[in-house]
Amino acid sequence: MISYILKRVIATLPVMLMVAIVVFAILRLTPGDPAAILAGDDASGEQLERIRQMMGLDQPILTQLYVWVRQLLTGDLGVSLLSNTPVIQMIGARVGPTLSLALSTIIFTVLVAVPMGVIAARRPGGWLDRTVMTFSVLGFSIPTFVVGYLLIYWLALKLGWFPVQGYAPLAKGVWPYAQRLILPTLALSGIYIALVARMTRSSVMDVMGEDFIRTARAKGATEWSVLLRHALRNAAVPIVTVIGIGIASLITGVVVTESVFNLPGLGRLVVEAVLARDYPVIQGLILLFSFTYILINLLVDVLYTAFDPRIRY
Amino acid sequence: MSNLHKAEAHGVSPVLEVRDLSVSLVGDNSIGVVRCVSFAVRPGETVCVVGESGSGKSVTSFAVMGLLSPNELACSGGEILLEGENVLQAGPERLRALRASTMAMIFQEPMSALNPVETVGKQIEEVLSIHKNQSKRERRERVLAMLEAVHLPDPKRIYNSYPHQLSGGQRQRVVICIALILEPKLLIADEPTTALDVTTQKQILLLIRELQEKHNTAVLFITHDFGVVADIADRVVVMNRGEVVEVGSREQILSAPRERYTRMLISSVPSLQPEPREPNDNEIVLAVSGLSKTYDQRRFWKKEHVVHAAADIDLTLRKGEILAVVGESGSGKSTVARCIVRLQDPSAREITICGENMATVRGQALHQMRKRVQMVFQDPFRSLNPRVSVGESIIEGLINFGTPHKTACQRARDLMHLVGLPADALERFPHQFSGGQRQRICIARALAPEPDVLIADEAVSALDVSVQAQVLALLDDIRMKTSVGVLFITHDLRVAAQICDTIMVMRQGRMVEFGPAAEILTAPRQAYTQALLDAAPGRHWDFQKFGPIQ
């Protein structure tokens, strides 16, 4: 098991290097002089030269790559063109809300969607199943920002249970922190709950047709024990896969949700950096998101082996 | 047996009594899957329910356990009395309490009957935690004792193993543990040895018998195999199309069946005694020498692990000869066949077909060689393209080799006649035919390009005995009419005895013995061949003559 995890971790290193090189290349392959793009239309030749030197663009390309990778290894993502603060500091300042939102969404999704799927699979075609499936269709089809605004209108403006927007770090107390996370979490989870509940339902139903389910019933096991002990664990691999894919695509969802609820997170930082053409920040964020993808994939692969002893790579 | 006689003498009431049981499709009572079935099983007695596919034998056994799938089948009449209690009236709770404690079941395919992601120890233990109030330690000790009782080596290791880490026979022993750990009064065994090799089958049958005698268990044994019936049954229930045809003692059913259907069924079982055959000195159509096939698993870090699927196989096949390649699963018999047709590339080899080397040809030359060797596969339901008409399936090969469409169609009609199907079958699609008819179509397709060699890979294994007998007769007939050489891959010695001139016995990729069928089957030189023969169920009974073998 340990050696397997170690192998997987080592196998991700080349992937990470590839990502770094691609991110490096994006800026260099942009048509024209990146320094000119950065400096804007009315920059003097002297300013351009200064920017080139600052970015190391006057060096040979391989030297530039070497410097870039070496900087990465020391955690140096460069300096923002706009605010002149190191990118790593900017990310550090904004990572809190995003991480909180992502984690709460994942936890809420799993806690709600997996039981929903199992309940639906217990009697396919029954009223519980149809309710779950209806909710699932709604979750898929209503865009996150619509759900977000509806929740704000109803729960924040009408009932006044939650603040309309904003973020409070955990340091300011658990309740203010949670109070401001609940609505964004609800809004963002909808689609993931729909996805995971559907997947749970169909893979549990598949497993319920297997022979060992009949064996469990022949042992005298109750229907719940059959569902939870025998069916759910066998259904886990596709469910974990979908949750993994969901987390990866959460990043897009975060951008929208953070804008709707005005959370000062990474999603908003992406929008700000793109609008301001702050290339070092964009680079840093792409790198961060890519590495997160890779780590999630690694985690999913490791979870497979925990759920299914037959999987050994 | 002695237990049984005691039971009968004392007039012991039956453990299971099925009275006028009917099972029909949910929502449509008019279609009876099982109709008015009645029989009884007494303590210590083994009752075999025997029948072909679709006879309703498995449905009956599932009805007893209350395991019919609720959306498809439901009991529509009669009663099932388990120690006098009608289980059809029992609520879900009561039914769960009866399962495993009073009635238990073992299944056909032990791999799929076990939960793949849980250790076998825990799966056996689950029975105890459902039905008994025992401490964890007591449960564990009981499970280990049970693993010991079914003669599994190193119970502690097995306890912590997952099903995929065990062999087929070991898995079935685990399933038996689950069924018998609470010492139920009734054991239902639904084709428990069908998926196992003969030698393993023999051991499992002995084990069931041993445990049955120990606890005086009533056994309801579902099977399609009259060999097994001859070995283990006290009484026999013959079923056909959802109805009981005949009930009787083993001796009565096997030696003097009253019903025509029973008589037909029993006489279809091929005899282990080979028929005398003329020596064949026709020209050699297929010569294989030194055929080997190895698989190596390359690992990133570890050194590679080499599996010899076939090693150093020599064989010759003459015109009009049927050569059986016999062996248990994993013996490499299918690998040999696949290498000869070049579905797989052999590793080291010489395969000569009518003087040309098949092992090394490539590209266009290989394409031309393809029509010299044709193949018939095991499962006729999956080996025909369901969306292509039978006629098109048959002529496809001919068209590929440049035969004009009209000639090809004429050939297809001739072939239909040869395999005993009407010519209008060519217009129809595979799903409109029964299994036996489909296998005839597959044979016609294989014969279309007039091959020198026909390879039949377990071609009759998926068929019921009566259909199997017909297809074997057809193959024999075709061999006579077309003098094609047939390489017949089978695990079943009876089938081999029925139609083969020569037999090659394989084990673990190697050839054990090769010679005329009569010699191999009556005076084998190798211990392994002898063991295979000894393990063949019902070897003392001549089914076609309705009496013991002289």
The interface predicted TM-score of the complex, written ipTM, equals 0.81
DSSP annotation of A298 reads H
Name the residue among B273, B314, B267, B324 with its Cα closest to residue B479: B324
| Residue B284, C-beta contacts closer than 8 angstroms, at least 6 positions apart | B316, B317, B318, B319
Write down the pLDDT at residue B96.
93
CB contact under 8 A, B300 and A7: yes
Q: In this structure, what token pair is assigned to residue B166?
A: 């065990």
Residue whose pair of structure tokens reads 């923002």 in the numeric block: A80
Assign B314 to helix, strand or coil: strand
Is B423 within 8 Å of B372 (Cβ atoms)? no
Instruction: Give the span between the Cα atoms of B63 and A24, in whole angstroms.
Output: 68
Residue with the bigger pLDDT between A211 and A78: it is A211
Name chain A contacts of B116, Cβ cutoff 8 Å.
212, 234, 308-310
Residues 257-286 of A with CB under 8 A from B: none
Is A35 within 8 Å of A303 (Cβ atoms)? no
Name chain B contacts of A309, Cβ cutoff 8 Å.
116-117, 162, 164
Write down the pLDDT at residue B348.
67
Q: Which residue of A has its CA nearest to B117?
A: A308
**Crossing angle between the packed helical segments A2-29 and A279-307, to the nearest 10 degrees:** 160
Write down the pLDDT at residue B147.
94
Tally of CB atoms within 10 A around A216: 26
CB contact under 8 A, B100 and A219: yes
Residue whose pair of structure tokens reads 């959460």 in the numeric block: A250
Residues 134-173 of B with CB under 8 A from A: 162, 164
Cα angle A61-A62-A68, degrees, rounded to a multiple of 5: 90
Instruction: Give the span between the Cα atoms of B340 and B333, in whole angstroms.
Output: 11
Q: Which residue numbers in chain B have pLDDT < 70?
A: 1-11, 297-305, 348-349
Instruction: Give the span between the Cα atoms of A55 and A32, in whole angstroms.
Output: 15
Average pLDDT, chain A: 85
Confidence of residue A156 (pLDDT cuts 50, 70, 90): confident
Residues 230-249 of A with CB under 8 A from B: 230, 233-234
Q: Does A211 touch chain B (CB under 8 A)?
A: yes
The torsion of the CA quartet B155, B156, B160, B164, rounded to 10 degrees, works out to: -30
Tell me: pLDDT of A263 over 90. Answer: no
Residue whose pair of structure tokens reads 């109709």 in the numeric block: B35
Strands B235-240 and B243-249 turn out to be: antiparallel
Nearest-CB residue to B162 (from A225, A230, A309)? A309
Write down the pLDDT at residue A160.
81
How far, in whole angstroms, is CA B437 from its chain's centroid?
Answer: 19
Among A185-199, A219-233, B330-344, the range scoring the smallest mean pLDDT is: B330-344
For B508, phi then psi, to 5°, come to 45, 45
Domains of chain B: 2-267 (3.40.50.300), 284-372+451-548 (3.40.50.300), 389-450 (no CATH)
The domain segmentation of chain A, as residue ranges, is 2-73, 89-307
Burial class (CB in 10 A: 0-12, 13-18, 19+), B351: buried
Amino acid at A112: V
Q: Which residue of B has its CA nearest to A311?
A: B117
CB contact under 8 A, A211 and B107: yes
Write down the pLDDT at residue B9.
46
CB contact under 8 A, B99 and A230: no
Alpha-carbon gap: B116 to the closest alpha carbon of chain A (Å)? 8
Strands (E), B413-490: 453-457, 485-490
Q: Does B100 touch chain A (CB under 8 A)?
A: yes
Burial class (CB in 10 A: 0-12, 13-18, 19+), A241: middle
DSSP annotation of B68 reads S
Amino acid at B325: V
Classify domain A89-307 by CATH architecture. Answer: Orthogonal Bundle (1.10)
Instruction: Give the span between the Cα atoms of A32 and A20, in whole angstroms.
Output: 22
Q: Mean pLDDT throughout A95-108?
A: 90
Name the residue among A299, A131, A105 with its Cα closest to residue A201: A131
Residue whose pair of structure tokens reads 């018939």 in the numeric block: B376
CB contact under 8 A, B100 and A220: yes
Q: Does B104 touch chain A (CB under 8 A)?
A: yes
Write down the pLDDT at residue A70.
86
Q: Does A219 touch chain B (CB under 8 A)?
A: yes
CB contact under 8 A, A220 and B99: yes
Alpha-carbon gap: B301 to the closest alpha carbon of chain A (Å)? 10
Write down the pLDDT at residue A162.
82
Write down the pLDDT at residue B305.
66
CB contact under 8 A, A220 and B98: yes
Residue of B62, B101, B126 best to disrupt the A interface, most CBs of A under 10 A: B126
Tally of CB atoms within 10 A around B300: 7
Q: Mean pLDDT throughout A49-59?
A: 75
Alpha-carbon gap: A118 to the closest alpha carbon of chain B (Å)? 18
CB contact under 8 A, A307 and B117: yes
Q: In this structure, what token pair is assigned to residue A208?
A: 């319920």
Residue of B82, B109, B115, B190 best to disrupt the A interface, most CBs of A under 10 A: B115
What is the radius of gyration, based on Cα positions, of chain B? 26
Bridge partners (DSSP) listed for residue B375: B455
Instruction: Give the span between the Cα atoms of A133 and A116, in whole angstroms.
Output: 9
Q: Does A308 touch chain B (CB under 8 A)?
A: yes
Name chain B contacts of A221, Cβ cutoff 8 Å.
96, 126, 130
Strands (E), B119-242: 186-190, 218-223, 235-240
**Edge-to-edge strand ranges of the sheet holding B351-353:** B305-318, B284-297, B351-353, B356-357
Alpha-carbon gap: A170 to the closest alpha carbon of chain B (Å)? 40
Q: In this structure, what token pair is assigned to residue B162?
A: 């997952």
DSSP annotation of B12 reads P
Q: Does B96 touch chain A (CB under 8 A)?
A: yes
| Residue B36, C-beta contacts closer than 8 angstroms, at least 6 positions apart | B20, B21, B22, B77, B78, B243, B244
Write down the pLDDT at residue B14.
92
Name the residue among B156, B506, B115 with its Cα closest to residue B308: B506
How far, in whole angstroms, is CA A74 from its chain's centroid?
Answer: 25
Name chain B contacts of A308, Cβ cutoff 8 Å.
116-117
DSSP annotation of B274 reads P
Instruction: Give the span between the Cα atoms of A21 and A77, in whole angstroms.
Output: 14
Name chain B contacts of A239, Cβ cutoff 8 Å.
none
Name chain A contacts of B181, Cβ cutoff 8 Å.
none
CB contact under 8 A, A308 and B101: no
Write down the pLDDT at residue B1.
45
